[in-house]
Structure 1
Amino acid sequence: MTTQYMKVSRIANWTSTLDVKLPKSLDDALAAYDALRYVETGHEPVIDPTKLKAAGVAAEVERVAKELSVNAHLEEAQQRIAGQLESRIIREAAAAVPSVLDQLTEKFDAQAARYVAAAVKLPLDLTSESVVETRDAEVLAALGEATEAAGFLEKVDNWLESLGELPGYSTNPNYEPVLRVTAPDDYKPLYALREAHQARHTADTLLQSVGPVYFAAARNGVEFKMLTPDESTQLLQDLEDGKPLTAGQRFIGVRR
């Protein structure tokens, strides 16, 4: 289960990861949350048994008790303030999503175009061996371009996935992982993307470096597009609705 702290930690990385500007209110809340981490909430009481005398034991107990009480109250106060700030940050992050998407669009489109231009120059069966066998400097240059562009696409991909943790962007149980930065217009390329996704961990290291799903998208003419969880779910539904009926479905009279 994703905790509030984990959600806020991801939100705090939006600026550095995506190179976007956050609304001032969200920036201020994140700054306050970060400052809260350094607030002193007390130390363990220092007890020196070598200095204790019978007459002073009661006073020592009272002193230690007071320190423990103050520490406990400080810690509870810090936790309560942190909880309120976390809730505020998560709400404001959800409200900031449209602004972040607007800021990302131009760079995303440019990096997606850069990726496609490089990917089509690479061997269709992309492996270390197939690249070496080409002995083509243009192929090596294209591999570098595709790898760099894929790095940015993956950052956006991961960010879009994290939106499911925010209010108003809750992830549908049927959320399709290959429909976050790619938007096929037909069910057939969707199958190619799913196949690439399923084989991503066993793919050749070079294919992994350029992103198996992104590579499949580029080679199948699939559009690169940023999709929120709801948009992804709707696209999946549209693709499923567009599939032709099987012979069995037609036989029993299924209609779409």
Structure 2
Amino acid sequence: MPRFFSNQIASNQIIITGEDAKHITKVLRMKMGEAITVNDKAGTDYECEIAEIGEQVILNVLTKHKNETEPNVEIVLYQALPKSDKLDFIVQKAVELGVTKIVPMTTKFCIAKADEKSFEKKLIRYNKIVFEAAKQSGRGIIPLVENILSFEQAIQQGKDECSILYYEHGGEPTACIVNSNTSKVNIYVGSEGGFSEQEVIYAKEHGIRLGTLGKLILRCETAPIVGLSLVLNATNHM
């Protein structure tokens, strides 16, 4: 069933406008009476049927219910900046896997360099990727990509919460850090060069636990996917 996001929701009607309305009429070529699912971006799904089609599409709400695809744990991914367009891929797959928020960060071994001002221009593209991935994967919310932080700023944000830094030289299994009672977890993933020894020491000094992704050395775009999967598995979502 086609699925869309909208915050133009009344008690019994929803209005779809803009590109989504064009997609319904021009691409999907849907007709009056056909079924559509709409999410309010806050975790509720509305099962609807098309009442009117034109420049805007008006839907009659038939039923509503809590979205059942969202993980039972809030996951924030702190991702060190990778080179080229790898962050596009990481953002897309992280959203498909249920991440709540993605926070890019700069670390010692980052090959890619970006300051906050120049990175703001890229946020439009990243959040467009988020929107499409959230719609495709049936998410109940639209995650957010935030502006870039330094490694130290990122650690400060997660120091008083359940936080895991995935380290290529070893750490604890994820299941020893989180479980089905964990409501939120922050995960830190390095870039192509991983984390420096000084960064690992800084993280440990601020209460961040080291986690392992196994004995293999993973590419920087593979590591967050594995880390997210391990958290979801340990919290009994998968």
Aligning the two structures, in what range does the TM-score lie when normalised by the shorter sequence? under 0.3
Task: Give the structure with higher Rg (CA).
Answer: 1
TM-score for the superposition, normalised by structure 2? 0.26
TM-score for the superposition, normalised by structure 1? 0.25
More strand by share: 2
More helix by share: 1
